[in-house]
Amino acid sequence: MQNNVLILDFGSQYTQLIARRVRELNIYCEIHPFHNIPDNLDPFKAVILSGSPFSVRAEDAPHPDLSKIKGHKPLLAVCYGAQYLAHFNGGSVEPSNIREYGRAKLSMIKSGEIFFDNIPENTNVWMSHSDTIAQLPKNAVRLASTVDVLNASYRIENEETYAIQFHPEVYHTTHGKQLLENFLVKIAKVEQSWTPAAFVETTVQTLKDQIGNDKVVLGLSGGVDSTVAATLLHKAIGKNLYCIFVNNGLLRKNEFDSVLHQYKDMGLNVKGVDASERFLKALEGESDPERKRKAIGNAFIEVFDDEAHQVTGVDWLGQGTIYPDVIESVSVNGPSVTIKSHHNVGGLPDFMKLKIVEPLRMLFKDEVRRVGKEMGIDPELLGRHPFPGPGLAIRILGDITAEKVRILQEVDAIFIDGLRKWDLYDKVWQAGAILLPVNSVGVMGDERTYEKVVALRAVESTDGMTADWVNLPYEFLQEVSNNIINRVKGVNRVVYDISSKPPATIEWE
């Protein structure tokens, strides 16, 4: 891909957002950590330096060697990047006297600069730094200021090097996308040719070249990622793709049968394996969340391995890994630290000795959906909420029994069906029910009961990294709660989770 943009990540929480904005311009880009600059820079038509939680003045701050980039490629330095260029090229960066956080206005924009084409003075920008550029680097021309930040933007004379101390990638920077477009399209002359259709075409061709007549096995989960990955592989190699869909007994009610049918209707070569008993056995007596995850992971590997061995002469393992998983495993720090062992990177253990093929490795979730749509996958399948790999096991707090799974499946089905009936399903990023390990007292008829409590959780989010609870209508909650308590034996109390992430998480375990 010769039309590529390189984003060097200095650990900012916004780096992924830069990539998304660039891709929204139909331009392909890749994030690489600052300490791992690709040797071959030929494929990259432009480079963007991200922000960072570090101060350039700190000893342990990122100090990449940019000698092959600055002055050689069009370069956009954002925030830390802008300060880094200033600090090491004859300028100075100092702690700022006032806090430079949040909204500001570009009160001065130098006229006649392509970089600021179609961007009016006083446009809103988003600042987030505690250092400031006190003195511009050598040969710099100031391009914009705010009331508090004199050097909000500069460029270097006789180079295509541009720098900004604000964040163009965040929503609050009103003309952020325009600025990125000015830099990438007008200055760096990158083509806007990255579309779902182009992605499908090139990926299918690459997969054909890569795999040839080899066989691939792939575990389907019922989720969007594995479904889209399988469909791409199917387009490339047809019947040589062997899909395995395992019922771990922790799926939603009726999910195994209905999704298996859907897969068959799509023409996929898929085998459904009901291993519910095996998983329940592996989970017996386990109440620690990490141990539950491990038990499920191990059971899955065993089942999958058994099945994969039934296909003779397999060379490849297909996986639905997507870009955030890949970036998370290489990034510097901050939000990229792995909090739970739920990432697919690294995949299955060595003993499987298969080569890995990951057709969605470079896509964000919303791009995966668009690619799926491009290939004609059922919108209902593509619109499905994310569902964790360990399934209901991490929504049943404490140990897991068949009876608890049954209860939670019933509760979850009432909640999810209700969301669909009330036309709320697509307005929610993810929803589900949690079975709590406490009983509470209740009264039904003349009798006192002492039964289970369930919590309902519905969140809005764009990527699962941050999330907020959804303000569902009271009437809806009332109906769902009534249905649950009246219909699901063993539950006498329903509560609604109103915590945001952070500080809470989406799942309870």
Letters for 438-467 (x = contact with ligand XMP by CB under 6 A, - = none) are --------------------------x---
DSSP bridge pairs for 75: 47, 161
Applying CB under 6 A, the span of 140-148, 235-243, 251-259, 384-392 interacting with ligand XMP comes to 384-392
Min dist CB 135 to ligand XMP, Å, is 43
Q: How far is CA 127 from CA 103, 104, 332, in A?
A: 6, 7, 21
Q: Is 501 in the site for ligand XMP (CB under 6 A)?
A: yes
* C-alpha to C-alpha distance for 436 and 247, rounded to whole angstroms: 24
180 phi and psi angles, rounded to 5 deg: -65, -40
Say if residue 222 carries a ligand binding annotation: yes
Q: Is 430 in the site for ligand XMP (CB under 6 A)?
A: yes
Applying CB under 6 A, the span of 1-9, 191-199, 245-253, 501-509 interacting with ligand XMP comes to 501-509
62 phi and psi angles, rounded to 5 deg: -60, 130
Q: Is 405 exposed, middle or buried (0-12, 13-18, 19+ CB in 10 A)?
A: buried
Q: Is 222 in the site for ligand XMP (CB under 6 A)?
A: no
Is 32 assigned a catalytic role? no
* C-alpha to C-alpha distance for 365 and 462, rounded to whole angstroms: 9
Q: Please select the residue that binds ligand XMP; options are 53, 334, 386, 442, rule is CB under 6 A.
A: 386
* C-alpha to C-alpha distance for 420 and 108, rounded to whole angstroms: 50
Q: How many residues bind ligand XMP (CB under 6 A)?
A: 14
Of the listed 167, 175, 234, 385, which one is catalytic?
167
Of the listed 30, 100, 160, 169, which one is catalytic?
169
Interaction residues for ligand XMP, span 270-309 (CB under 6 A): 293
Whether the CA torsion 225, 322, 503, 290 is positive or negative: it is positive
Say if residue 52 carries a ligand binding annotation: no
Is 169 assigned a catalytic role? yes
Q: Is 74 in the site for ligand XMP (CB under 6 A)?
A: no
Q: Is 91 in the site for ligand XMP (CB under 6 A)?
A: no
Letters for 325-344 (x = contact with ligand XMP by CB under 6 A, - = none) are ---------------x-x--
CA 323 to chain centre: 7
Residue type at position 288: D
User: Which residue, among 103, 228, 119, has the nearest Cα to 173 in the 3D structure?
Assistant: 103
Q: Is 359 in the site for ligand XMP (CB under 6 A)?
A: no
* C-alpha to C-alpha distance for 467 and 459, rounded to whole angstroms: 6
Is 403 assigned a catalytic role? no
Given the rule CB under 6 A, which residues bind ligand XMP? 293, 340, 342, 386, 388-390, 394, 430, 464, 501, 505-507
Residues flagged as binding site: 221-227
Question: Which residues contribute to the annotated binding site for ATP?
Answer: 221-227
